[in-house]
Amino acid sequence: SQQGEEDPQALSIQEGENATMNCSYKTSINNLQWYRQNSGRGLVHLILIRSNEREKHSGRLRVTLDTSKKSSSLLITASRAADTASYFCATDNTGNQFYFGTGTSLTVIP
Amino acid sequence: DAGITQSPRHKVTETGTPVTLRCHQTENHRYMYWYRQDPGHGLRLIHYSYGVKDTDKGEVSDGYSVSRSKTEDFLLTLESATSSQTSVYFCAISPSQETQYFGPGTRLLVL
């Protein structure tokens, strides 16, 4: 399988703290994306980083990509209770297919 | 949810019966995808479409077939449902093979 893996599987933090989750993948990629899934809902796209980029920001989100290590990290700063969700990375290496990781479950305690 | 709907939202069926799930979009996006989501496996691609009548297999296509006769509709069929196909099924659409927009999901229980 070309599926990525997120680490940790579960993360619990206090509101206001930063949350960091990591994604490792197995093959060369064109881009890597992060998605959020609230309980019982579909996934929502957060951010895309291309293989020739090393860091990208969007609001309170910061994503890094290290293609030499085949890994990415997602940092959520100043977390809020509303950030409680599962977070998935997805890689695109063929242009038509996406491979999702198993997800990190984030709980932000008010 | 970006003009994408799935029907039915919940279904209970018996082993051996055929089941068809429908994904409908109003965005006119070229690419459409069917995924299943299971605990410990994340999302896995079943089939995808890159245009009307153009489809291809994904990572877990065995036991599933798809059809796309119109841009807006992508159907997933389980010819003879098995208990291992109990899952949550998500449809996604994409204009550019990059960002995907997901539907609300269909919970399928095969008894």
CB count within 10 Å of CB A69 equals 9
The answer, yes or no, to whether residue A45 has pLDDT greater than 90, is yes
Classify strands B42-51 and B54-57 as parallel, antiparallel or unpaired.
antiparallel
With a CB cutoff of 8 Å and minimum separation 6, the contacts of A51 are A28, A29, A30, A31, A32, A65, A67
Residue located via tokens 């060369």: A28
Does the N-terminal peptide bond of residue B8 adopt cis geometry, omega within 30 degrees of 0?
yes
Tell me which of A21-35, A86-100, B82-96 is least confident.
A86-100
Contact A64, A58 (CB under 8 A): no
Tell me which of A6-10, A106-110, B93-97 is least confident.
B93-97
Q: Across the interface, which of B42, B45, B58 has its CB nearest the CB of A101?
A: B42
Average pLDDT, chain B: 94
- Max mean pLDDT range (A22-31, B18-27, B92-101): B18-27
Q: What is the mean pLDDT of residues A4-9?
A: 86
Residues of chain A positioned with their CB less than 8 A from the CB of B97:
92, 95-96
Percent of chain A whose predicted confidence (pLDDT) is above 70: 95
Distances (CA, A) of B93 to A9, A43, A85, B88: 27, 12, 22, 17
Handedness of CA A99, B111, A37, A85 (dihedral sign): negative
What is the model's pLDDT at position B40? 79
What is the model's pLDDT at position A97? 79
Tell me which of A48-52, A66-70, A99-103, B27-31 is least confident.
A99-103
| Confidence at A69, pLDDT banded by 50, 70, 90 | very high
The answer, yes or no, to whether residue A83 has pLDDT greater than 90, is yes
Residues A50 and B95: their CA atoms lie apart, in Å, by: 17
Contact A87, A4 (CB under 8 A): no
Q: What is the mean pLDDT of residues A47-69?
A: 96
Residues A79 and A85: their CA atoms lie apart, in Å, by: 12
Residue in B with minimal Cα distance to A42: B104
The one-letter code for the residue type at B15 is T
Phi, psi of B85 (to 5 degrees): -95, 5
Higher pLDDT, A54 or A28: A54
| Confidence at B82, pLDDT banded by 50, 70, 90 | very high
Residues of chain B positioned with their CB less than 8 A from the CB of A2:
59
The answer, yes or no, to whether residue B100 has pLDDT greater than 80, is yes
The answer, yes or no, to whether residue A95 has pLDDT greater than 70, is no
Residue in B with minimal Cα distance to A37: B102
Residues of chain B positioned with their CB less than 8 A from the CB of A31:
98
Average pLDDT, chain A: 92
Residues A80 and A45: their CA atoms lie apart, in Å, by: 18
Residues B92 and A66: their CA atoms lie apart, in Å, by: 27
| Confidence at A93, pLDDT banded by 50, 70, 90 | confident
What is the model's pLDDT at position A94? 66
